[in-house]
């Protein structure tokens, strides 16, 4: 029987601080590109794989600027410091994706009269993602 991982209970930690009010997110763009290495004597194209790109980690939040984990994001946006990012999938035996990265975007959205204020924080992965 196929097993699936529930997103309920997953956590995001940035620089040792657990970010609260997370609605969802993604680890995207984690890829290995190729470069063409075809020579003039080849009769078919040839490629080699190049170093990986860790991509980006994005999270959607119910924004509360007075919440310390959210104010730490605004401070991080101002500082530009590299931080450790840990995504934990609690329904899979606490599998973690750990990497270093930079906060490259903090988009805060003010909805209509009855909507909550939301935000999307985007981190560029710098280096390798370790899965454990």
Per-residue pLDDT of the chain (132 residues; tens, 9 = 90+): 556 666 777 899 999 999 999 999 999 988 999 999 999 999 999 999 999 999 999 999 999 989 999 999 999 999 999 999 999 987 667 789 999 999 999 999 998 777 889 999 999 999 999 999
Residue reference for tokens 């909507």: 115
Dihedral sign, CA of 25, 64, 95, 102? positive
φ/ψ bin of 59: left (φ > 0), alpha (ψ from -120 to 50), beta (otherwise): beta
Which pLDDT belongs to residue 2? 57
Burial class (CB in 10 A: 0-12, 13-18, 19+), 125: buried
Q: What is the pTM (predicted TM-score) of this model? A: 0.84
C-alpha–C-alpha distance, residues 97 and 105, integer Å: 20
What is the pLDDT, as a whole number, of residue 1? 55
């Amino acid at each position: 029987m196929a097993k699936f991982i529930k997103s309920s209970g997953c956590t995001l930690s940035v620089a040792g601080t657990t970010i609260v009010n997370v609605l969802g997110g993604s680890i995207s763009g984690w890829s290995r590109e190729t470069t063409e290495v075809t020579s003039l004597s080849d009769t078919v194209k040839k490629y080699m794989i190049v170093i990986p790109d860790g991509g980006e980690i994005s999270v959607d939040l119910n924004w509360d600027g007075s919440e310390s984990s959210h104010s730490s994001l605004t401070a991080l946006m101002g500082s530009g410091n590299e931080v450790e990012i840990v995504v934990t999938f609690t329904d899979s035996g606490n599998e973690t994706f750990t990497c270093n990265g930079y906060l490259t975007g903090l988009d805060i959205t003010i909805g209509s009269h009855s909507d909550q204020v939301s935000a999307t924080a985007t981190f560029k992965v710098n280096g390798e993602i370790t899965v454990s």
